[in-house]
Amino acid sequence: MVADRGFERRDFGDGFTWGVATAAYQIEGAWDADGKGPSIWDHFTHSAGPIPGVPRVRDRSDGDVACDFYHRHAQDVALTSELGFGAKRFSISWPRVLPDGVGRVNQAGLDFYSRVVDECLAAGLEPWVTLYHWDLPQRLQERGGWANRDVVGWFSEYVETVAAHLGDRVRHWMVFNEPLSFCVLGYLLGVHAPGVRSRSKFLAAVHHTNLAQAAGAAAIRARAQDPVVGTSQYLTSILPTGTTRIHQRAARSADAFTNRMYLEPNLGLGYPVDDCGFVAPIERHVRPGDDEAIVVDWDFLGVQYYTRLKAPPLPVPGLWTAPLFGRDFRRFELTATGWEVRPDGLYDVLERCHSYGRFPRLVVTENGAAFPDRLEGDRVRDASRVEFYRAHLAQVLRAHRDGIPVDGYFAWSLMDNFEWAEGYGPRFGIVYVDYPTQRRVVKDSGRWFAELLGA
Ligand code: BGC
């Protein structure tokens, strides 16, 4: 394997962070243990969808048990360090800490995260904490969730609570995980929790999330010791599906809708309404003073990259991950979720983020792929995933060599987990999880990382 890799760990530099990423709802289980309140994902997976007989989650599963990380964290933290990584990115479940979203603190929830942080530090892993990876307290959704402007204050209260408790040991913070995903899938298309389908609520959620980026960053800086504050965005490079002006306009619109809406307001650049008419009514949610309050001075940007998008000229912009459009139709390998493997797009995204001149550091906080894995005894021969990681890391190295300040890479994910509306079908882990027994089996891709990292 080493011979084919084309690079060594040292090529990325000594200060480069090597990590794995996970999210609370996707791995923890223990959905109602020790005082935890329900999240929108508990509610979404436990209730029937709008169309009788059509499940909200493909395999009718939920995150009640997931990978049982809540009880197996010590073993999973140890495994992460055995594989040679130096950092573990994980998210905090808001309703585990504040069961009603605001007010009463659940000490047992805070203690759980405190233990995980201590275990990471003892194992030589730097904890990188995401404050929101999509599991809003259900009590707050009953008051409108991200579509209610009060959420900015609710979020600040939660972030202050966590930062005050963990901020003596955690340095790296990400305020959000992929606002694009939870706003579009949860509030516009209704295929993720909370299952809302409304353009106006979607636009309200986007604006309130962008305000909460700034409020959250300020809350961390007020309560944590010497924090390094960033946020993680789904970013992609957009391909037009033809050469006419109409195709170019569709690509610009998709880019505004997918990338710029979540990056630019916090840089003081406003919303890209001129390039995307679909989002223009967002201006209705913007109040005097918001343009200033929304600005954040980020210490780093978390870049999450999975695939390129195609932008066919359609009324709703930029939602196509599928390779159905364009001249290069089916020239590229597809993952189990139907996404084209396009490592070059990661370089483009890093270069583009750097070109804003506003992010002192870029960190790839997620990158990975699902493939149809087969457990054969104690082995999972996931050669496609090994090649996926090799090719994407080669692009990170290329960016690094070109002077783009990318200084970290987190694989998505440590282990197979609950893939939201897709349930347990797609497996993204470098460690296989045999769900009935909760046995962990390091896949060939996990061994490949261990070899690269000199474990
Ligand atoms: C999300 C993860 C998700 C992964 C694969 C990212 O958009 O942050 O929660 O599992 O993609 O779909």
pLDDT-derived band at 329 (thresholds 50, 70, 90) equals low
Q: 303 CA distance to ligand 1 centroid (A)? A: 12
- Cis check: omega of the bond before 194, within 30 degrees of 0: yes
Q: How far apart are CA 415 and CA 440, in angstroms?
A: 8
Q: Is 376 helix (H, G, I), strand (E, B) or coil?
A: strand
Which residues, at least 6 apart from 444, have a Cβ–Cβ distance to it below 8 Å? 379, 380, 381, 382, 383, 385, 386
User: Which residue is listed with tokens 């916090």?
Assistant: 266
Q: How far apart are CA 188 and CA 197, in angstroms?
A: 5
Q: What is the pLDDT of residues 30-40, one digit of tens each?
A: 999 999 999 99
Residue 139 has pLDDT above 90, yes or no: yes
Residue 215 has pLDDT above 60, yes or no: yes
Residue 3 has pLDDT above 50, yes or no: no
Q: What is the pLDDT of residues 252-296, one digit of tens each?
A: 999 999 999 999 999 999 999 999 999 999 999 999 999 999 999
Residue 330 has pLDDT above 80, yes or no: no
Please report, for the chain, the start and end positions of each structural domain, with discontinuous segments joined by +.
9-453
Please report, as a single letter, which amino acid is at residue 177. Answer: N
Question: Who lines ligand 1 at CB under 6 A?
Answer: 23, 26, 177-178, 181, 234, 304, 366, 412, 419, 428
Residue pair 129/174 in contact by the 8 Å Cβ criterion: yes
Residue 328 has pLDDT above 70, yes or no: no
Sign of the CA dihedral 83, 88, 90, 92?
positive
At CA 116, angle to CA 135 and CA 161, rounded to 5?
Answer: 55
Give residue 327's pLDDT: 53
Give residue 311's pLDDT: 86
Residue 363 has pLDDT above 50, yes or no: yes
Pick the residue whose CA is nearest to atom 12 on ligand 1: 419
Q: 39, 234, 420: which to mutate for ligand 1, most atoms within 8 A of CB?
A: 420
Q: How far apart are CA 264 and CA 271, in angstroms?
A: 7
Residue 248 has pLDDT above 60, yes or no: yes
pLDDT-derived band at 166 (thresholds 50, 70, 90) equals very high
Catalytic position from the list 178, 340, 387, 419: 178
pLDDT-derived band at 2 (thresholds 50, 70, 90) equals very low
Give the mean pLDDT of the chain. Answer: 95
Sign of the CA dihedral 382, 386, 389, 392?
negative
- Would you give the distance in Å from CA 346 to the centre of its chain? 15
Please state, in angstroms and as integers, the Cα–Cα distance from residue 216 to each residue in 152, 153, 232, 266, following that order.
8, 9, 13, 12
| Nearest Cα to Cα of residue 229 among 163, 157, 156, 153 | 163
Which atom of ligand 1 has the smallest separation from the CA of 428? 5
Q: 96 CA distance to ligand 1 centroid (A)? A: 21
Which atom of ligand 1 has the smallest separation from the CA of 412? 4
409-446 burial, b if ≥16 CB within 10 A, otherwise e?
bbbbbbbbbbbbbebbebbbbbbbbebeebebbbbbbb
CATH for the stretch 9-453 = 3.20.20.80
Q: How far apart are CA 440 and CA 68, in angstroms?
A: 11
Residue 319 has pLDDT above 90, yes or no: no
Give residue 397's pLDDT: 98
Please state, in angstroms and as integers, the Cα–Cα distance from residue 70 to each residue in 273, 312, 341, 453, following that order.
43, 43, 33, 27
Give residue 199's pLDDT: 95
Residue pair 113/157 in contact by the 8 Å Cβ criterion: no
Mark whether 366 is an active-site residue: yes
Q: How far apart are CA 78 and CA 187, in angstroms?
A: 37
Give residue 107's pLDDT: 98
Number of Cβ within 10 Å of residue 58's Cβ equals: 14
Please state, in angstroms and as integers, the Cα–Cα distance from residue 188 to each residue in 168, 183, 230, 421, following that order.
38, 7, 26, 15
Pick the residue whose CA is nearest to atom 3 on ligand 1: 419
